[in-house]
Amino acid sequence: MKSSKISTDARPQRGIVSPKVVRQQGFSVIEAMVGFVILGITITALCGGFSFGFNTIKLSQEEVRADQILVQKLETLRIYKWNAINNLFIMANFTNYYSTSNTLHGVTYSGTMNVTNFPATGESYSNTLKQVTATVSWFSEGKNHTRSMSTLVSQNGLLTYTNSP
């Protein structure tokens, strides 16, 4: 056998000159153990970090999609006639998905449209304004998430532009 040997005998053997054998052999084991521990911690942190990162990105993407849904809902209001808004013809509940381009929809968003009176502070025109709040909630990574967005709609506002002949 040509491979080198690690001797456990502390005494010097004939023909072998190795004055630091004892220290070198022991340090090697400790070294390996410390290295193993460090590597273990590093890999654990790496896995945890990547997992956290992936979850953060996934949640961010879901939030962006939620935001798109909210903006879409609020911008759609601009083409409604005042009667539709004032008489609550807007669908109060809706469902949307993370992806609508394939059969796998991904996360499901449950939304609500809430039309309330303008939070007036004494303005004489408060009866010509409505506050509309769109809210979506979804379940992801073991948690419920919610986002909402509000805007105002005026009886004399942009709808008169979009509905003008």
Partner 1 sequence: MKITRITSSQTGSTLIVTMVTAGILGAVLGTYLSVTCSENLKVKRSIGWNTALPIAEAGIEEACSQICKNTNAYLADGWAVNSNSFAYNKTRFLGENYYSVDINGWMGGVAAFTSTGYGHWTGGSNYISRTVQLIVQTPTPYFPSGLIANTVDIQGNFSADSFDSRTNLYSTNGQYDQRKATDHALIGSPAPSGYSLGGSSTVNGYVATGGGLVTGSGATTVGDFAWTRRNKGIQSGHCTNGFTANFSPVVAPYGPGQKGVKNVITGTNGVTAYDYVLNGGFYFATNLLSSQFGKKMFVAKDSVLVVTGAVDLTSITFNSTNGAKLSLFLGYPSIDFAAALINGTPPQFWLYALPTCANMKISGGNFIGVIYAPGMYLDAEGGASIQGAIVAGTFHCQGGFNFHHDDATNGTDPKPFKILTWAEL
- Quote the CA–CA distance of 64 and 53 in Å, as a whole number: 16
Shortest spacing between CB 103 and partner 1, in angstroms: 26
- Other beta carbons within 10 Å of 136: 26
Q: Among residues 6 and 103, whose Cβ is nearest to partner 1?
A: 6
CB 18 within 8 Å of CB 12: yes
Instruction: Look at residues 73, 81, 75 and name the one whose alpha carbon lies nearest to residue 160.
Output: 81
Residue type at position 48: G
Instruction: Look at residues 99, 79, 100 and name the one whose alpha carbon lies nearest to residue 90.
Output: 79
x/- letters, 87..126, toward partner 1 (CB under 8 A) = ----------------------------------xxxxx-
User: Which residue among 12, 22, 41, 87 contacts partner 1 (CB under 8 A)?
Assistant: 41
38 makes contact with partner 1 (CB under 8 A) = yes
Angle, CA 135 vertex, CA 124 and CA 89 arms, to 5°: 60
What is the binding site for partner 1 (CB under 8 A)?
Answer: 2, 4-5, 15-18, 20-21, 24, 27-28, 31-32, 34-36, 38-39, 41-43, 45-46, 49-50, 52-53, 56-57, 60-61, 63-64, 67-68, 70-71, 74-75, 78, 121-125, 128-129, 131, 147-158, 160-161, 164
